Amino acid sequence: MPKKPKKVLILGSGGLRIGQAGEFDYSGSQAIKALKEEGIRTVLMNPNIATVQTDKGLADSVYFLPLTEYFAKEVIEKERPDAILLGFGGQTALNLGLALDASGVLKKYDVEVLGTPVSVIRDTEDRELFIKRLSEIGVVTAKSFAAENIKDAVASASKLKYPVMIRMGFALGGEGSGLVRSESELRTRLGEAFHRSPQVLIEEYLAGWKEVEYEVVRDAYDNCIVVCNMENFDPMGVHTGESMVVAPSQTLTNEEYHRLREVAIKTIRHLGVVGECNIQYALHPVTGEYRVIEVNARLSRSSALASKATGYPLAFIAAKLALGHSLLTLKNAVTQKTIACFEPALDYLVLKMPRWDLNKFDSAVTSIGTEMKSVGEVMAIGRSFEEVLQKAIRMLMIGADGFTANKGEAFHIEKYLAEIKDPTTRRVFAVAEALHRGVSVEEIHKLSGITTWFLDKMKNIIELEKRLKKETLTAELLRQVKQAGFSDKQIGTITDKTEVAVRALREKKNVTPAVKQIDTLAGEFPAKTNYLYVTYHGTEHDVIPGKKGIAVLGSGPYSIGSSVEFDWSSVQVLKTLQAEGRETVMINYNPETVSTDYDMSDRLYFEELSLERVLDIVQFEKIKGVVISTGGQVSNNLALPLHKNGVKILGTTPENIDRAEDRHTFSKLLDKLNIDQPGWAELTTRKAAGEAAMKLGYPVLVRPSYVLSGSAMAIASDEKSLMRFLERAVDVSSEHPIVISKFIENAREIEIDGVASKGKLEIYAITEHVENAGTHSGDATVVLPPQRTYLETIRRAKRIAKKVVKELKITGPFNIQFLAKENKLQVIETNVRASRSFPFVSKVTGYNFIELATKAMLGKDISGHYQTLELDYVAVKSPQFSYSRIKGADPLGYVEMASTGEVAAFGSSYPEALLKSMMSAGFRLPKKNILISLGGEENKVKLLPAIEKLKVLGFNFFATEHTAEFLKTHGIASELVHKIKSGKKENVGTLLDSGKLELIINLANRGLVREGNGGNNPSDGFIIRRKAVDLNIPLITNRQLAEAFAMALSEVGKKGLESKAWDAYKKDA
């Protein structure tokens, strides 16, 4: 073995975004553990503060800094690591590593790249090199041409004949790629593509081919194994991140399976990967021909999935291999007896399903293709396809009870054939609809190219549903439908019974599930694993019930509004419980999480977070108590149902949780406690809504309980816009009432995150939003400690928190959101659970809020003196958006959350922290050219001081017509930019395309209303914002943020930004 490095730098992946989600928290954490175990010092660079990997006690040193070449160099200079790991932080880390190598930084500081060498990474990332390398050993790739300009690209496409596939080198999650049907379409796409990547690839389009993936591990001694193979439900053309995926493959013969395996091993050996990688194939369904689509020479979303699917700890092993260990000397962590050099045999199958949140965006396109749009995923384990399919659909938490028997319009698809042919996010429900209506499997196959085997299984589900409707519920039929994944609730819907009644009947007839182990060897060797799933295809439990442990409910899929922060919280609960000597049972099914690592809990159930399944587990394990307050809304929603079924909920009582959740009771409670709140009313007709809004006074905030399309919340500035929203988007009825609140304009938003014990506030942190209320708290830039909030306001917020805590007898975590305006404090909402900002406030204040909350829930005394206000440093948290993925969506802050993740940075001062935080979310500081486009008088007047600051800094301004005029009257020169429609030069369109712009400040006229965007007649404002995103130009759309940014930039000035480690801030304090 080569000499072990002493200190290793690990690059993380930054904020969660589409194409790069929580899976890299898992892989990074594993890598750190693997290195630490060997006494190697670890330095982690990752601004994602909500991750487990950035926790104290993991890496020796953590840098919450932007993942850019500049900062990486600073860190290297300071830390002088002797080696670096590039494969554990997704495409971000890989690209940064390549840049550091290219610029000579690694060489200069003598930093060795561990694992797969940089030259090999280049071979896999540069499409031209890649194809060349593979052809050297006769491995076949799709016919393609690389182009570095539009002319060559167009020429290549006509050679290949349309449709063609276009893609970009060095890209992530299929970004910028897609099916192109004509030359004009190609030209438009190329414009955008070349803004993001120097190289574009034009490729033959492999329509109808099966898509298959292999996860390969190789050590430095040329031992090479395939840990898992996977088959996509959708044929080529739907990104693997957008497709349902099964593991292992289901329709490949032995010959196909092993032929592709052989090609995989041959390819990986030839390339010289050391560690982990995946290889993607297209496989022709008739001729059996294959094409290699790509190799990702790093841990990926698929490898996280493969890891959870098989129990093989891919990231951990990859880190060990990077250090030079051999697969022969590493143990199979699951059996502890056998070695890591083996290929898992599964005696179950898993199904991964993507979770999309496109309906949060009014004009977003819901078609799916070669670009990733999903924000998270779920994985179901079972022993039949029907079982895993229905489980997975429920796991998505989109309101579906399974493949069929769904209530709600959303799952009944009118143009089902169209959505089968040109896939949308609802394709699976379109298939259900078609099968219901008697469309044949053959027909669906013809339209979609989906392998009939999958469709036949889906048809089985529909057939069983028919039997359920007709036949009596015998034990045999019950067992059969349970084996096909029907939930009690679904059976109830079909047979007109309640879920409770079905459960009772089932238990009476002894139709109950079995608990099975994931052991990597299909039972061949005894395994002590605690990694479990529940199935109806079994007569025997693999384990005996545990010793009355405590169950922790996880967060379910990553989605907008529920992200890695809740996984972090769950993990903290597990750690605390274990430290307190309690047995832990984790329940979660998100394969991109750390909480589902089987070494995090005493028992891991990779299972549904449904009442039915949690009850199954609680009953089997004789669970003593359940923690529901750290997994976000998914677990919180189970509090009352579980409680009603006699399950002990730890912490605040479910009745009191409900008092905070229910708008009516909570509002009364606030009135009783003399706490102010914005006026509101609940209405069941449009007319009443109009009257109520009038009474409250516009603008108003509208929250329907039932949404037909688009976003769930809206701000209406007048009656006209209110009615338009109500007509277009929502159903208003006594069954689906809407809530209308007075929208408080120009109010600032602050939040309290806290922990209480038996109704007494024990610790709290106050955070302040940079943006005014109206930007969802999840999309806001958050500052701790507060910079602009008066001490008196803070005191009053605290007093309110104390009252609420006392009234609800809170034990455990909670969060209260306030509006602050002119000395007035109003409460927006209270969540009696951990909020999104718990990791942030914990890491910034240095007190682990979840640890304290857990102890409080166990009845421990957590009282103490906690200093959370007077800090000698400032931390800022910024949202991470994924607008570039969500084609057609307006990137404008709104009351509905749109960000997919978050990042944070520390600084000695607020300006410093703000800039670093913004940059951590991908913002680049401008050097020269800024486009300013300010809608409305108020925006212009109020932003003027900020623009003056920027002027002093020497920036060159471009401005749209009215803005230019306004600036001129205030003595600020700018270059006039015309409206696009004018056709004049320079207009907004030509300027954006010119590539000159480094920042765009665009404030919408009526910042409140999201109208006139997208559609057939988009406003110039929308075009500017959308293009900024599509062309990857930094964009600010909020006035307060623009002000803060200008202030920060002028204050930081030439001093520059410091690159200090997290603990350095503590030491200086």
Judged by the rule CB under 5 A, the positions of this chain that interact with Mg ion are 777
Residue 380 binds: one of Mg ion, other proteins, ligand ADP, none (C-beta under 5 to 8 A by kind)? none
Taking CB under 8 A as the criterion, which residues in 380-409 touch other proteins? Answer: 383-385
- CA-to-CA separations, 226 to 24, 30, 162, 357, 460, in angstroms, rounded: 21, 20, 36, 33, 32
Beta strands (DSSP E) in 822-928 are 824-831, 874-880, 901-907
Taking CB under 8 A as the criterion, which residues in 287-316 touch other proteins? Answer: 287-288
Q: Is the CB of 106 or the CB of 293 nearer to Mg ion?
A: 293
The terminus-to-terminus CA distance of the chain in angstroms comes to: 43
Using CB under 6 A, which of the segments 423-431, 719-727, 741-749, 1028-1036 binds ligand ADP?
741-749
Residue of the chain from 526, 859, 983, 1053 that contacts other proteins (CB under 8 A): 526
Residue of the chain from 285, 545, 690, 846 that contacts other proteins (CB under 8 A): 285
Residue 327 binds: one of other proteins, Mg ion, ligand ADP, none (C-beta under 5 to 8 A by kind)? other proteins
Residue 992 contacts residue 1028 (beta carbons within 8 Å)? yes
Residue 942 interacts with other proteins (CB under 8 A): yes or no = no
Smallest distance, other proteins to C-beta of residue 616, A:
17
Residue 775 binds: one of other proteins, ligand ADP, Mg ion, none (C-beta under 5 to 8 A by kind)? ligand ADP
How far apart are the C-alpha atoms of 830 and 666, rounded to whole Å? 9
Residue 682 contacts residue 664 (beta carbons within 8 Å)? yes
Taking CB under 8 A as the criterion, which residues in 254-273 touch other proteins? Answer: 254-255, 257-258, 261-262, 265
Site string for ligand ADP, 887-926 (x = CB under 6 A): --------x-------------------------------
Of 82, 66, 74, nearest in space to 9 by CA: 82
Using CB under 8 A, which of the segments 515-523, 685-693, 773-781, 1030-1038 binds other proteins?
515-523
DSSP letter assigned to residue 899: -
Q: Is the CB of 777 or the CB of 880 nearer to Mg ion?
A: 777
Using CB under 6 A, which of the segments 5-13, 250-258, 667-675, 742-750 binds ligand ADP?
742-750
Taking CB under 6 A as the criterion, which residues in 193-252 touch ligand ADP? Answer: 203-206, 211, 236-240
Cα–chain center distance at 256: 34
Taking CB under 6 A as the criterion, which residues in 275-314 touch ligand ADP? Answer: 280, 293-294
Residue of the chain from 678, 759, 846, 936 that contacts ligand ADP (CB under 6 A): 678
Smallest distance, Mg ion to C-beta of residue 1061, A:
32
Residue 203 binds: one of ligand ADP, other proteins, Mg ion, none (C-beta under 5 to 8 A by kind)? ligand ADP
b/e map 698-733, b = 16+ CB within 10 Å: bbbbbbbebbeebbbbbbbbeeebbbebbeebbebe
C-alpha atoms less than 13 angstroms from C-alpha of 545 in its C-beta half-sphere: 14
Q: What is the three-class DSSP state of 134?
A: helix
Residue of the chain from 774, 901, 911, 1021 that contacts ligand ADP (CB under 6 A): 774
Residue 791 binds: one of Mg ion, other proteins, ligand ADP, none (C-beta under 5 to 8 A by kind)? none
Residue 466 interacts with other proteins (CB under 8 A): yes or no = no
How far apart are the C-alpha atoms of 277 and 431, rounded to whole Å? 33
Q: Is the CB of 254 or the CB of 1017 nearer to other proteins?
A: 254
Smallest distance, ligand ADP to C-beta of residue 591, A:
17
Q: Is the CB of 342 or the CB of 698 nearer to other proteins?
A: 342
Residue 1042 contacts residue 943 (beta carbons within 8 Å)? yes
Q: Which residue has the tokens 């395939």?
A: 226
How far apart are the C-alpha atoms of 443 and 194, rounded to whole Å? 40
Tokens of 1: 């073995």
For the chain, count helices (H), then strands (E): 37, 38
Query: Residue count at the site for other proteins (CB under 8 A)?
Result: 58
Q: Is the CB of 399 or the CB of 995 nearer to ligand ADP?
A: 399
Using CB under 8 A, which of the segments 101-109, 333-341, 397-405, 983-991 binds other proteins?
333-341
- CA-to-CA separations, 908 to 45, 221, 815, 1062, in angstroms, rounded: 18, 48, 27, 11
Residue 743 binds: one of other proteins, ligand ADP, Mg ion, none (C-beta under 5 to 8 A by kind)? ligand ADP
How far apart are the C-alpha atoms of 792 and 795, rounded to whole Å? 5
Smallest distance, ligand ADP to C-beta of residue 660, A:
12
Angle among Cα 560, 566, 569 to the nearest 5 degrees reads: 165
Residue 513 interacts with other proteins (CB under 8 A): yes or no = no
Tokens of 19: 């194409």
Angle among Cα 742, 744, 746 to the nearest 5 degrees reads: 165
φ, ψ of residue 772 in degrees (nearest 5): -65, 165
Q: Is the CB of 714 or the CB of 997 nearer to ligand ADP?
A: 714
Q: Which residue has the tokens 């900020």?
A: 946
Residue 457 binds: one of ligand ADP, other proteins, Mg ion, none (C-beta under 5 to 8 A by kind)? other proteins
Smallest distance, other proteins to C-beta of residue 309, A:
12
Tokens of 91: 């495409």
Residue of the chain from 451, 637, 781, 933 that contacts other proteins (CB under 8 A): 451
Query: Residue count at the site for ligand ADP (CB under 6 A)?
Result: 38
Smallest distance, ligand ADP to C-beta of residue 896, A:
7
73, β-bridge pairs: none
- CA-to-CA separations, 647 to 344, 640, 804, in angstroms, rounded: 37, 9, 25
Residue of the chain from 743, 764, 966, 1045 that contacts ligand ADP (CB under 6 A): 743
Using CB under 8 A, which of the segments 245-253, 424-432, 488-496, 1054-1062 binds other proteins?
245-253
Residue 744 binds: one of ligand ADP, Mg ion, other proteins, none (C-beta under 5 to 8 A by kind)? ligand ADP
Of 557, 679, 621, 130, nearest in space to 305 by CA: 557
Residue 165 interacts with ligand ADP (CB under 6 A): yes or no = yes
Taking CB under 6 A as the criterion, which residues in 801-860 touch ligand ADP? Answer: 817, 819, 828-829
* Amino acid symbol at 1040: Q
Q: Is the CB of 433 or the CB of 749 nearer to ligand ADP?
A: 749
Residue 537 interacts with other proteins (CB under 8 A): yes or no = yes
How far apart are the C-alpha atoms of 1010 and 999, rounded to whole Å? 22
* Amino acid symbol at 395: M
Q: What's the sign of the alpha-carbon dihedral 702, 1040, 882, 956?
A: positive
Residue 996 contacts residue 1031 (beta carbons within 8 Å)? no
How far apart are the C-alpha atoms of 8 and 93, rounded to whole Å? 14
- CA-to-CA separations, 476 to 387, 468, 471, in angstroms, rounded: 16, 12, 11
Smallest distance, other proteins to C-beta of residue 345, A:
4
Residue 512 interacts with other proteins (CB under 8 A): yes or no = no
Q: Is the CB of 454 or the CB of 566 nearer to other proteins?
A: 454
C-alpha atoms less than 13 angstroms from C-alpha of 944 in its C-beta half-sphere: 16
How far apart are the C-alpha atoms of 228 and 230, rounded to whole Å? 7
Beta strands (DSSP E) in 536-651 are 550-553, 584-588, 603-606, 625-627
- CA-to-CA separations, 89 to 561, 756, 830, in angstroms, rounded: 22, 36, 35
Beta strands (DSSP E) in 28-172 are 41-45, 61-63, 83-85, 112-113, 144-147, 164-168
Taking CB under 6 A as the criterion, which residues in 83-142 touch ligand ADP? Answer: 142
Residue 346 interacts with other proteins (CB under 8 A): yes or no = yes
Residue of the chain from 627, 701, 755, 930 that contacts ligand ADP (CB under 6 A): 701
> Which stretches of the chain bind ligand ADP, using CB under 6 A?
142, 165, 171, 173-174, 177, 203-206, 211, 236-240, 280, 293-294, 370, 678, 701, 741-744, 747, 749, 773-777, 817, 819, 828-829, 895
> Which stretches of the chain bind other proteins, using CB under 8 A?
221-223, 225-226, 248-255, 257-258, 261-262, 265, 285-288, 326-328, 337-339, 341-349, 383-385, 451-453, 456-457, 514, 516, 521-526, 537-540, 542
